[in-house]
Amino acid sequence: MTQSWIVLQPIIILLAGALIVPTIEFLGKAVKFEKLRGMIAVIIFGLSLYSALTVYGEVQRQGPLTYFLTPYGPPIGVDFFVDQFSIFLALLFCLLGLLISIYSIKYMEDDTGLDKYYSLLMTLVAGLVGISFAGDLFNLFIFWEVMSLSSYALVAFKKYRWEAIEASFKYLIMSTIGSLTALYAISVLYGMAGTLNISQLASIIPTLKTYPPQLPYFIIATIIVGFGVTASIVPFHFWLPDAHPAAPSGISAMLSGVVIKAGIYAIARILFSIFIPTAFNFGTTLILFGIITISVANFMALLQRDIKRLLAYSSIVNIGYIIFGFGVGAYALNFYGIGGYSIAALAIMGAIFHVFNHAVGKGLLFLGAGSFIHEVGTRDLTELEGVGKKMPWTGTSFSIGLLTLAGVPPLSGFWSKLFIILAGYAVLGNSFMIIATSIVVLNSIFAAAYYLWVMQRVMLRDPKPKAKGVHEAPLLMVIPIVILGLITVIVGCWPFEIINFADVAARSLLGLLMG
């Protein structure tokens, strides 16, 4: 591994931007350049994305990068570690942050306190990048809290509405309980090994024989529960359907697109790095959580009339697919031993690819729904019928997002679901995996039905009275939506680059446990 300070660049740029924007706001009042804050935010996110791409290039060239904040190294120092799995997530975080900052310039123009909005948005993405770059659990937890505090405030940004305050408070309480649960697991690991460095934990924990045999499974359970709250795994999902309708649509896209993925990343990174799946069968637990999450959220989505609540439950469904994919990977390694490596790599590649597809697809859907709400003034699906005919660019892109998450070929969502399902059926001669994977297939068909039902209502029905007089959303709102729609089409028709990236990321994660 190569020591390089450039791993800090995206985080430094975003945190510096979070400090600069309030200063621009102060100067703007004097020189009447109030819209400058949005443009500055776009520039900062653009620089962070460019910096993340630079880090990606170095990881490609030199392999995993690491950096220790002086004067201390392991076991007590702050460690940054960037491999293909880390940078895959970081690029996704920065890309979505950039597009949402562009969208927000027009969407948020009538709101006050936008210096705080953009500052919190940049702090949120800095926390997300920090989580993916953390090489020790202390560092990971600090960035986790940075992300969490920023997201609480952003959910409550429209603080003059009781709905936003209530949703943010529920999110705060549930996420705090989850964070404390995860922190307790981290403290137990430190007590066992005397270090929080992930690579050192990976080499120490499997060799310890003095702890009770049930203790590793207790830690695994607390890690899944603790980070599973933010990931919105059923039954820890209750905050998400309230937070989405209350938050600005750009923040809804961030919550579904990337924030809940941070929970998935933390679970996967800790479990696969520290608890070798060939020795610890946590795959069964992840598979069961995945099936329950998909099934419950699918049923709840059908009951919704609020378009943002429906999309929130859809996000929970897709988290179920991702958790299931990681579970299949762990289960295959436990079932076959090292012989299950190829199946595990396929399953985890599918899960990581679905992280990308869901981030792009759900970001597209929430931004599209936000544009509908911006023009029509309602979140009620009944009132939004036919609005796609009046807003063709937004409506067409929105439809592409629905078809992507429905898994319709050749769009990108089809491929990631296919890989996860193929990996599940590849565990031959195992009735548990056959039944579990079949349940996922049935749920996928069920979800596709209501995605098509939403598309039919928005695009094919005659416009309702509220939708008749609307027109296309402003250009700055349409551009990010169209870009996300194009990404799903291009990746669907030419998925090889992303598949290769996700495959290398999966093998990088598995490489840590394989030594």
Predicted pLDDT of residue 515: 42
pLDDT digit string, tens, across residues 456-485: 999 888 888 888 888 888 999 999 999 999
Of 51, 47, 31, 29, nearest in space to 39 by CA = 47
- Contact between 116 and 127 (Cβ < 8 Å): no
Share of the chain above pLDDT 90, in %: 63
Residue 28 has pLDDT above 70, yes or no: no
**Environment class of 160 (CB within 10 Å of its CB; exposed 0-12, middle 13-18, buried 19+):** exposed
Query: What H or E segment, with its residue span, contains residue 313?
Result: helix 307-336
Report the 3 state secondary structure along 374-427: HHHCCCECCCCCCHHHHCHHHHHHHHHHHHHHHCCCCCHHHHHHHHHHHHHHHC
pLDDT at 78 over 90: no
Q: What is the pLDDT of residues 90-136, one digit of tens each?
A: 999 999 999 999 999 998 887 777 888 999 999 999 999 999 999 99
CA-to-CA dists, residue 338 to 174, 410, 482, angstroms:
38, 33, 44
Residue 171 contacts residue 243 (beta carbons within 8 Å): yes
For residue 271, what pLDDT is reported?
Answer: 94
Q: What pLDDT, on a 0 to 100 scale, did the predictor assign at position 1?
A: 66
- The pLDDT score that the predictor gives to residue 109 is 82
**Mean pLDDT confidence for 247-259:** 89
Q: Which of 375-384, 430-439, 481-490 has the lowest mean pLDDT?
A: 375-384
Residue 294 has a pLDDT of 96
Residue 337 banded pLDDT, cuts 50, 70, 90: confident
Confidence label for 55 from pLDDT (cuts 50, 70 and 90): very high
Closest by alpha carbon to 175, among 187, 186, 183, 164? 183
Q: Count of alpha carbons within 13 Å of 477, Cβ hemisphere only?
A: 27
pLDDT for 124-154, tens place per residue? Answer: 999 999 999 999 999 999 999 999 999 999 9
pLDDT in tens, 266-292: 999 999 999 888 888 899 999 999 999
Q: Give the per-residue pLDDT at 181.
A: 95
User: What is the model's pTM?
Assistant: 0.94
Split at pLDDT 50, 70, 90, the class of 10 is very high
Q: Could you give the 3-state DSSP secondary structure of residue 230?
A: helix
Q: What is the pLDDT of residue 21?
A: 85
Q: What is the pLDDT of residues 185-213, one digit of tens each?
A: 999 999 988 889 998 898 888 888 767 87
Closest listed residue to residue 186, CA positions, set 226, 235, 217, 237: 226
pLDDT of 305-314, one tens digit each?
Answer: 889 999 999 9
Cis omega before residue 71 (within 30°)? yes
* Mean pLDDT for the chain overall: 90
- Residue 512 reports pLDDT greater than 70: no
Q: Rounded to whole angstroms, how far apart are CA atoms 193 and 63? A: 27
Task: Note the helical H segments in 156-212.
Answer: 162-193, 198-204
Give pLDDT tens digits for 390-445. Answer: 999 999 999 999 999 999 998 999 999 999 999 999 998 789 999 999 999 999 99
Of 15-19, 228-232, 233-237, 426-430, the poorest mean pLDDT is in 426-430
What pLDDT, on a 0 to 100 scale, did the predictor assign at position 477? 93
Percentages of the chain per state (helix, strand, coil), in multiples of 5:
80, 5, 20
Per-domain boundaries in the chain: 276-515
| pLDDT higher than 60, residue 184 | yes
